[in-house]
Homo-oligomer: A and B are copies of this chain.
Amino acid sequence: MSHSPLAKLFMAGMLSAPLLLASPIAQAEEMLRATGDLGLIIERATGSILIVETTNRTTLKRVEGLGDVSHASAVYSRDERYAYIFGRDGGLTKIDMLKGEIVKRVVQGGNSIGGAISDDGKLIAVSNYEPGGVKVFDADSLELIADIPATFGKDKVLSKTVGLVDLPGRKFVFTLWDAGETWVADFSKGNKPDIQKIPNIGEYPYDALVTGDGRHYIAGLFGEDGLTHIDLWATELKAERILKGYGKGEQKLPVYKMPHLEGWAKASGQFVLPAIGRHEILLMDGNSFTETDRIEVYGQPVFAMARPDGRQIWVNFAPPKNDTIQVIDLPSRKVIKTLKPGPAVLHMEFTPRGHEVWMSVRGADEVQVYDTQTLEKVKTMPAKKPSGIFFTARAHKIGL
């Protein structure tokens, strides 16, 4: 038996019963919905996502068929209508957040580790671990626009790529794990990019981030102690080592590496970052890139995430302490709360202005929502082995 689209929406819980009985006009008007308070939650074990809304904190729909979404991440179209999900299996899936369905899905590589969307919303870039390189797709059709092989050396070996982010001006920046190079791909003149290569990034860069203003690109190194910084506003782009003593990456596969650099916060002029191996959060001056302070925490930190105003830092931990969250008050540099959400707290996402934070508690099959003022739990929602949480406000941000 087939159902009408409206009936399907009703069964999926996205429409109320009275609406089915209403006039077509009323139905149409009732279906109108804004997208600024939407989000999605990756359900890693089942290849599915939940579409959620943060105003009343409800799940709108489960969408299945996304393949291997362990470590998946997402970006949004600039109107916040479509999500692009980068799966571990090389799958790139476009989701209609209003209809709650897959628009298109392509398997673009063998092992993908994240992607980005250009500032004009037209290009989707995907970073690949297997076979390496970066592929760029049309955001509407998901058709391949550019294939950037990321070859290096005399033998033109293909490098794995990491740390792919968008920059203003239809640009992407990413780093070659095998080559120790960072490349800026400039699509401002069309779909054939100009590539600028920055050498001597260091040995085995495993991950990277760019600051929210698109200026400072920082790569972590597996093969060396310390990090590499590139000031992307400089006339001549060059790599500089910073934070000697920060430590090397600890696990060989870039994509499995913890702590992710994504987990760094920038707040009130300083970077807040998880120490490697130690039970500490480090503070680094945002101009000089030197360490200024350390804050002792409960375990080995994984993510140190700043509330959007930067006044609080929420920290989760590596196993076996991954049932715990600590909240740091940045002005006093003190831990003000220790929470025990449950087994395996994997990810957190703040509402855009930071009044609440959502967190995935994988082992409890739950997503929990906390008020960031009272630090009390305000909602618990079921989810199947939840991991990443991504809200649509990301559409408006640089460098994700």
Contacts and interface: CB of A to CB of B under 8 A. Distances in A.
Please state the number of chain copies in the assembly. Answer: 2
A213 B309 contact: yes
A335 to B, nearest CB: 17
A20 to B, nearest CB: 12
A392 B36 contact: yes
Interface stretch (A126-134, A318-326, A351-359): A351-359
A125 to B, nearest CB: 15
A81 interface: yes
A33 interface: yes
A31 interface: yes
Nearest to A120: B355
Nearest to A98: B32
A141 interface: no
A308 interface: yes
B353 A99 contact: no
Nearest to A34: B81
Interface residues of A, number: 63
Given A78-B37, A355-B120, A32 B32 contact: yes
Contacts of A352: 78, 395-397
Contacts of A392: 36
B34 A97 contact: yes
Given A34-B77, A168-B354, A308-B398, 14 more contacts: A34-B98, A35-B80, A36-B79, A36-B392, A37-B80, A119-B355, A168-B311, A213-B308, A213-B309, A213-B311, A214-B311, A215-B268, A233-B311, A234-B331
6 contacts: A4-B25, A5-B29, A24-B28, A36-B81, A78-B352, A215-B310
Interface of A: 4-6, 24-25, 27-29, 31-37, 53-55, 76-81, 97-99, 119-121, 168-170, 188, 213-215, 233-234, 267-269, 286-287, 307-311, 331, 351-355, 372-373, 392-393, 395-398
